[in-house]
């Protein structure tokens, strides 16, 4: 990895860590105020940013998961949908997986896939 790539990689990790923390806060807010709209808009913005950054860095497992989470947030956050504890669990597991991905990347390890979680997210959208 050359110096520019290393700098972009470090920026990716730092930005993503901040976005994951902000996403955790949005989930807490959702649990406290399920009718609020601000948490959903912010969550979707964060996930979209993480998806784009992961795509640019070619971290396909992260990009694919953020896409699925984005759809899940959009669906369960709509005004006509009640908060489903199973949906919240899937979202929390997705956020945890993103955090683990960053930890693995920082440690120089390869990324795991989120295939099982992504299948569950996709199934819930049907």
Band (pLDDT 50/70/90 cuts) for residue 5 is: confident
Between residues 1 and 14, which one has the greater pLDDT? Answer: 14
Average pLDDT, the chain: 84
Closest among 52, 45, 41, 48 to 12, alpha carbons compared: 52
The 3-state DSSP class for residue 29 equals helix
pTM of the complete model: 0.83
């Amino acid at each position: 990895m050359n110096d520019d790539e290393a700098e972009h990689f470090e920026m990716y990790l730092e930005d993503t860590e901040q976005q994951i923390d902000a996403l955790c806060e949005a989930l807490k807010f959702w649990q406290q105020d399920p009718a609020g709209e601000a948490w959903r808009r912010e969550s979707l913005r964060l996930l979209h940013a993480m998806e784009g950054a992961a795509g640019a860095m070619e971290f396909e497992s992260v990009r694919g998961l953020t896409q699925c989470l984005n759809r899940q947030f959009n669906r369960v956050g709509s005004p006509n949908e009640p908060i489903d504890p199973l949906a919240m669990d899937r979202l929390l597991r997705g956020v945890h997986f993103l955090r683990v991905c960053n930890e693995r990347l920082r440690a120089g390890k390869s990324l795991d896939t989120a295939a099982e979680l992504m299948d569950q997210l996709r199934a819930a959208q049907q």
